[in-house]
Amino acid sequence: MQSRRIGEVQVSAIGLGGMPMSIEGRPDEERSISTIHAALDAGVTLIDTADAYHIHADEVGHNESLIARALASYGGDTSGVLVATKGGHLRPGDGSWTVDGAPSYLQSACDASLKRLGVDAIGLYQFHRPDPAVPYAESVGALRDLLDAGKIRMAGISNADPAQIVEAREILGDRLVSVQNQFSPAFLSSTAELELCDQLGIAFLPWSPLGGIGRAGGLGGGFAEVAERCGVSPQRVCLAWHLSKSPVVVPIPGASRPASIQDSAAASDLDLTASDLALLP
């Protein structure tokens, strides 16, 4: 597995997104833990989660707790695994998603995530989504305070536009290490954010890099053509395409089956040629 950098930490070039293991349609816990263990076996050292990855109102942090149990039960060394979680997005339990970017809320959410993950400091904590009711600088300022308090080791932002990235950089300086935005062949709207992260040397973590739950199997066109030529899946080609965009890109495909993350992890060793890339977006 090739590695890339988030802040001063080296992580696998392909991460694991935990959301499908905790929201609607989630598998049983045994299969989820097997999926996480398969990712670790494949060399994955970045696991993405959030306190909002759950279904019911009384199970906030379901995915964080699941990941903590999977790491604890893994037979190998997990000291090099970076768990990245997020706060500021909420699920009331009725299927909706809401936001709360108040500094007091983010601080309490971080404390709860610390307990669920069973760590003294969260490796990477990201503000999940801007809250229109709270000035962005105040929300990012909460990340600064968490860094200063030693509760988190690195800070990031998610679902941010270029102006917000610049604003967060002004507040956090080099301690802003990541931007996690939606990006895929079907969603290229975050190209400007990716390019800005490349210029600033900030890790760009595409979420839903294969197009989202239920859509990953629909990769066709150039991806299917290159996949056939290389003898691999279109999904593996897609993740290799992500990696070709910039050395700051670290895709975090979601998975709920061991075979899925094993195939995704192999994308780091797939070298696309110029003629391959000419067929892709």
- Positions annotated as catalytic residues are 53
- Relative to beta strand 124-127, strand 82-87 is parallel
Cα of 248 vs its chain's centroid, Å: 13
- C-alpha distance from residue 100 to each of 114, 145, 160, 195, 199 (Å): 18, 17, 15, 28, 30
DSSP E strand boundaries for the chain: 3-6, 9-12, 16-17, 46-48, 82-87, 89-90, 98-99, 124-127, 155-158, 176-182, 203-207
The closest of 146, 156, 196 to 179, measured between CA atoms, is 156
- Relative to beta strand 203-207, strand 176-182 is parallel
What is the distance in angstroms between the CA of the first residue and the CA of the last residue of the chain? 25
Interior/surface letters 104-123, b for 16+ CB within 10 angstroms, e for the rest: ebbbebbeebbebbebeebb
The closest of 164, 200, 167 to 181, measured between CA atoms, is 164
Cα of 180 vs its chain's centroid, Å: 6
89/60 Cα distance (integer angstroms)? 11
The closest of 225, 213, 159 to 186, measured between CA atoms, is 213
